[in-house]
Amino acid sequence: MASIYQSLKEEAFEANMQIPAQHLAIYTWGNVSAFDKSKSVFAIKPSGVPYPELSVENMVVVDLDGKKIEGSLNPSSDTLTHCVLYREFAVKDGIEMRGIVHTHSTYAVAWAQAMRPIPLFGTTHADHVQTEIPCTPYLSEEMVKKNYELETGNAIVQHFCNLKYNPAEVNMVLVGGHGPFAWGKTPSYAVYNAAVLEEVSKMASITLQVNPGATPLPEYIIDKHYLRKHGPNAYYGQ
């Protein structure tokens, strides 16, 4: 008999397979989850399993406290970070957010290691996000010792709160010293955002190399690019 989470696990599996396809991680260094708000559960990659060994069947279903609901393997060690983001952003803030992805993509990690938010240098960035890509400070020693993965989620939420960023609009972040998280309306769109972040990270590093004094794009161009793709008057696409 098919699992009642069958389609959720299928979505999680397909989105996880996009990580190697889009060159966003080597070996096992990334994970995607697929969230079902009505059931308060998400399906996520099992921990430490290489992408070629993934299947719909070995996706793990957990609830919003990270408790395993279905599956024989351990869920991703980052599961509690996903829990916090779904609880705070999708449930509490009511944002349409059915997928979260974490990778160790090369250029995004480099910016996270540099502890620098990614400046908004151009329209490739502005097409997707109207702000710098935020970078959280290091977690405190207390947070790391208490519950590292859960506090990683809290650090993201707190940083968005401090910056007054709306996670429905800013759907990617660098965890300082660690790497990128991204999310989206669907798991597949979350991976798209992770790929955007990697490309924007690479473009920004080359921009700085070519012109160390490069300045951000003017606000009125940012708004134009963002709004032609997003919001009620968007006219990009079909």
Residues with active-site annotation: 127, 236
Map tokens 């396809």 to a residue: 21
- DSSP one-letter string for 65-108: T--EEE-SSPB-TTHHHHHHHIIIIIIIS-----EEEEE--HHH
Pick the closest to residue 66 from 93, 40, 97 (CA basis).
40
Give the separation between CA 132 and CA 5, rounded to whole angstroms. Answer: 37
Applying CB under 8 A, among 41, 83, 101, 112 the residue interacting with a second copy is 112
Q: Which is nearer to a second copy, 97 or 109 (CB)?
A: 109
In terms of Cα–Cα distance, which of 177, 164, 57, 52 is closest to 113? 177
| Residue linked to tokens 């009620």 | 232
68 binds a second copy (CB under 8 A): no
CB of 1 to a second copy, least distance (A): 25
Which of 99, 122, 134, 153 lies at the binding interface for a second copy (CB under 8 A)?
122
Q: How many residues lie near a second copy (CB under 8 A)?
A: 60
Q: Which of 1, 52, 164, 210 touches a second copy by CB under 8 A?
A: 210
Considering only residues 35 through 64, tell me which ones interact with a second copy, judged by CB under 8 A.
Answer: 46-49
Decide if residue 21 touches a second copy (CB under 8 A).
no
Fill in the per-residue mask, 71 to 100: x = in contact with a second copy (CB under 8 A), - = not in contact: --xx--x-----------------------
Query: Residue 205 and residue 176: Cα distance in Å, rounded?
Result: 17
Give the strands of the sheet with 99-103, arranged side by side: 68-70, 60-63, 41-44, 30-36, 99-103, 179-184, 172-175
Smallest separation, CB 92 to a second copy (Å):
27
Residues that bind a second copy (CB under 8 A): 22, 26-27, 29, 46-49, 73-74, 77, 104, 106-107, 109-116, 121-124, 138-139, 141, 144-145, 148, 177-179, 192, 195, 199, 202-211, 214-215, 217-218, 220-221, 224, 228, 235-238
